[in-house]
Structure 1
Amino acid sequence: MAIYRIAIGTPGEAGQPDAIRAAFAEFFSMIIFVFAGEGSGMAYSKLTNNGPATPAGLIAASLSHAFGLFVAVSVGANISGGHVNPAVTFGAFIGGNITLLRSILYWIAQLLGSVVACILLKSATGGMETTGFSLSPGVSVWNALVFEIVMTFGLVYTVYATAVDPKKGNVGVVAPIAIGFIVGANILVGGAFDGASMNPAVSFGPAVVTWSWTHHWVYWVGPFIGAAIAAVIYDNIFIGDDGHEPLSSSDF
């Protein structure tokens, strides 16, 4: 790993107009994504009178998250890079594509966006509880950790291949839909085991609103590990020193 590409950034970076615009873009993109994804789970609960999970409900969750993320990434791509995920931002930082200070700004915006979306959902539904992430019966924290690592690896690897790689060419046009598809596909795999978060902010919003933090660390540690592994592998094997672009002062 080329450590020299990792950048801390300058103290004044957070006050730059482009950084503030990027943070707002992440904030609003996260609201769009969480409102659609979390809202679909609440709609399912209402339609089934809080009935048990079914394959149909899992498919609905997969589609709503895939469609919502496709839109959320698309509308933020030209402003912030369309991360919509603290793990994606961390992966970009590990690869030297965004500074640490800008990453922190993104993380704050992403977490706030998720919380606001959950508050809006609770208010709009007349006080319904947002659906928090939890482990299914028989699933240990270590099982869930592996799920989150592998699923987030696939997500961030897709982000690197379609959005970050300087050689992506016309593939960059389909980046938002590819990113949405991999999240939707992973939900079909891991949704029945640990909810398939792949996104610490998506887990954070419901946890704050419901104040339920059981096993919450899994949804941070797993995605960050998976993102770091994907960034290191893709950056070193497929981009390398010769193909790496200089760190932008705005976004990746």
Structure 2
Amino acid sequence: MAAKCITFFGLLCLLPQLRSRQFWRAVLAEMLGTLVVVSTVLGSSVPGPGDVPVGPLYPALAVGVAIVTVATCFGEISGAQVNPSVTLALLATRRMDVTRAMVYIAAQCVGAFLSTGALYLALPLKATADHFVNKVPLELNAGQALGIEVLITFQMVFTLFSVEDQRRRDSTEPGNLALGLTHTAGVFIGARFSGACMNPARALAPAVITGFWENHWVYWIGPILGAVLAGLSHEFLFAPSASRQKLVACLTCKDIEIVESTSMTGSSLSTVTQNAIRNKQANKMDN
């Protein structure tokens, strides 16, 4: 009976978002953005004439350009996350609700499947699809590849949080370029050690299509762990609004926005709370 009640109330919470046109625009943007990014990365990984390996240069530049393009096109619609690890980092720092995060991740995986499947059908030699799969090099073990994935995803997501924080403060910094360059740097760092995945959806789709699952867990645990650590460390240690009260609010499921406003303005908590409540009520009336 309790489980049925929980499911019922969960559906009630979900229905308003399902009826929102903006919500489905954002979901579609995540799917198309992931499709563009994954197809660009995989296409740039295909060997040249005579099966000459392309090395890390082409994928590094390709993913950087793709991220800048996607962030420009879909950043205002969905945030252009195009990566389950980024979405989970936003969820862990309570910048996103559970419903939206889960639907975003599903859309990202669908976009990755569509791009990988289309490239696979277009290949003259199906064996070339082996280059799509992230593999741990023979000279390394899974633990070392895991550490590299954590490192490069950490620097990528930390940059993303920093860019978003600057945008919230109306900064004029070229944020999209920074996002592209941090992806390029990640590929340069990790391509020879782990394949520089940084994106579980990018790893999942080729694994399903080719049937290669060896050490696949590395490309889920590594990026997710690195992303969540980056998000938490930025929010509660390095952000201008970071404070002990903000961390306590996150752990106790309180409203982080109220605590953020308090730390940024220096006003009393009661005053900021009243203002925040008034603003939320006004936003609800507008919606």
| Structure 2 length-normalised TM | 0.76
- 5 Å-filtered alignment, 1:112-151, equals 112-126=110-124, 128=126, 129-130=128-129, 131-151=132-152
- Paired letter, 1:35: S
Which residue of the partner structure matches residue 42 of structure 2? 38
Higher relative contact order (CA 8 A, sep 6+): 1
Q: Distance in 2 between matches of 1:127 and 1:14?
A: 42
User: 1: CA distance between counterparts of 2:202 and 2:133?
Assistant: 9
Moved more, 9-18 or 142-151: 9-18
For 1:181 and 1:90, the matched residues in 2 are separated by 22
Give deviations 1:186-243, integer Å, cap 9, x for gaps: 1111100110001101111211211211111111111111111111111112133443
Percent identical among aligned pairs is: 24
Segments of 4+ in structure 1 off by > 3 A? 126-129, 241-249
Show the counterpart of 1:105: 103
* Separation in structure 2 between the aligned mates of residue 72 and residue 127 of structure 1, nearest angstrom: 29
Structure 2 unaligned spans of 5+: 1-9, 247-258, 265-275
Q: Give the structure 1 partner of residue 205 of structure 2.
A: 205
Root mean square deviation, CA, Å: 2.3
Aligned pairs (5 A) from 1:1-252:
10-12=13-15, 13-42=17-46, 45=47, 47-51=48-52, 53=53, 57-126=55-124, 128=126, 129-130=128-129, 131-164=132-165, 166-167=168-169, 169-171=171-173, 174-237=174-237, 238=239, 239-240=241-242, 241=246, 242-243=259-260
Note the C-alpha offset of 1:49. 2.6
Unmatched 5+ residue regions in structure 1? Answer: 1-7
How many angstroms does 1:144 deviate by?
Answer: 0.8
Letter of the structure 2 residue corresponding to residue 117 of structure 1 = S
Task: Compute the TM-score of the two structures, normalised by the length of structure 1.
Answer: 0.86
In structure 1, distance between residues paired with 2:55 and 2:201: 22
Contact persistence 1:62–1:185 (CA under 8 A): yes
Q: CA offset at residue 176 of structure 1? A: 1.9
Q: 1:42-94: CA deviations, max 9, x gaps?
A: 1xx1x24334x4xx621111111111121122211011011011111111111
Whole-angstrom CA distance in 1 between matches of 2:13 and 2:165:
23
Q: Determine the structure 1 residue equivalent to 2:267.
A: none
8 A Cα contact 1:14 1:101, kept in partner: no
> How far is 1:175 from its partner?
2.0
Structure 2 partner of 1:3: none
CA contact (8 A) 1:89 1:106 kept: yes
AA at the equivalent of 1:142? G
Q: Secondary structure at the match of 2:118?
A: helix
Q: Amino acid of the residue matched to residue 39 of structure 1?
A: G
What's the counterpart of residue 4 of structure 1? none
Write the letter of the residue equivalent to 1:236. F
Q: Any conservation in 2 of the 1:25–1:80 contact (CA below 8 Å)?
A: yes
Point out the structure with the larger helix share: 2
